[in-house]
Amino acid sequence: MRDETDNILDDLLSRWHQWARGFQICPAQGADPMFRNVKSGRGWDSTQEIIEDELSASTMEAIDFEVGEMPEPHRSGIYAHARNLASRHAVWTSPRLPTDPMERAILILEARTALLKRLFRAGVM
């Protein structure tokens, strides 16, 4: 039985996958790395929009860090699960995960539980 925590985690993982997919080390050829973190003026944004954007960015960075610190194969399980959530199709997997669907489901459940604990400790959840 799914509870509200599962739905929140699924939403966060889906948004995190989209956020991580959009990350580029160097956004354009020949771009100066010194300016990669420069943000354009936000004169048209309301204070609430600015706060929400900053909160969302810090949440995604925290999730990215916590997933990156997970051991294999749990990290690969979270990556594949997040991609499936973002695409809304359960078709993505990883060669690092078990081929047996039942074993893979158990591993992903263990990975989700471990990630939930990490996110609770980090104050994200």
pTM, two decimals, is 0.76
Residue linked to tokens 């081929």: 99
Bond prior to 73 in cis (omega within 30° of 0) = yes
pLDDT in tens, 5-58: 999 999 999 999 998 887 555 555 555 556 556 666 666 677 888 788 889 889
Bond prior to 98 in cis (omega within 30° of 0) = no
Query: Would you say the C-alpha torsion 92, 123, 51, 65 has a positive or negative sign?
Result: negative
